[in-house]
Amino acid sequence: MRQSFRPAWWLPGPHAQTVWPYVFRPLRSVPLQRERLELPDGDFIDLDWSTQSRHPGLVLVIHGLEGSSQSAYVQRLLRQLERHGLQAVVMHFRGCSGEPNRLQRGYHAGDTADIDYVARQLLLRFPQRPLAAIGYSLGANALLKWLGETGRANPLRGGVAVSVPFELHAAADRLETGFSRIYQHSLLRSLRRTVTRKHALRGFPDPRAELAAARDMRGFDDRFTAPMHGFRDANDYYAQSSCRQWLPKIARKTLIVHAADDPFLNRNVIPTAHELPNNVELLLTEQGGHVGFASGRIPGLARDWLGAYAAHWLAHHLKG
């Protein structure tokens, strides 16, 4: 493990780093072209494609909880990939592209079937193009779990996972403490809005009473995420969906970028070196927050270290 990230001195602590990407969004959005991909179960997901393609490689981008192609961290990555001439395709989880999905089920942190389906569809279309993927937060957990589940049969050239909730039960507990409850409040507000809109549009039962009873992430997962996706309860969902148990089975070249001060997860849940196979590198920084990692000496002029580092790593491993 090594550290090459130097945090901006004027963004001290994990919360400043975490909030920075949302306050200082890129001024220019990367142009994207949307494609609707029909799924075997009758549902759909939307893919957003960048137009850049000087490099033969293709990068599958997997956002975090309630994210999308317009999330600040995704837009920053797309700009960095653009500089390397890499084309990207952002896979939206079901219901995250601006239109509710058709089925009552949605998505969750261990939802690897859709990632597998999208990746294999891309390779069927472009068999000569090397494919890599990058996932953030919830998407990072799903990506690492999928890499472990598929082992040597995985179709990727490599993968990057950023700010990973390695053990979901521990992440739920962490969001119940201190300032991290602010993030929980924001996520729950977005989830409630998403569920309410979807149920009204699709004619599903009124969820407002259940939503009112779900006062934290564990409560929401217990009442919605778990039963909608075949789990007994939140504990069963967390146990089956956490990626940490799958890390030793990853066979593809993989980079994990994580900050020890991540306010979504306590330090003692970060995997140790003996848990990781030789092909998995953990770049553990002391600072960086959750999907933050902003550097720079001049106040207000932060450098996107995370996007630049990830794009460079992906371009390097997609050569040939």
What positions carry a catalytic annotation?
Answer: 137, 262, 290
Paired with 191 in beta bridges are: none
DSSP letters for the chain: --------TTS-HHHHHHHHHHHS--SSPPPEEEEEEE-TTS-EEEEEEE---SSS-EEEEE--TT--TTSHHHHHHHHHHHHTT-EEEEEPPTT-SSS--SSS----TT--HHHHHHHHHHHHH-TTS-EEEEEETHHHHHHHHHHHHHGGG---SEEEEES--SSHHHHHHHTTSTTHHHHHHHHHHHHHHHHHHHHHHHTPPP-HHHHHH--SHHHHIIIIIHHHTT-SSHHHHHHHH-SGGGGGG--SEEEEEEETT-TTS-GGGSPPGGGS-TTEEEEEES--TTTT-EE-SSTT--EEHHHHHHHHHHHHHT--
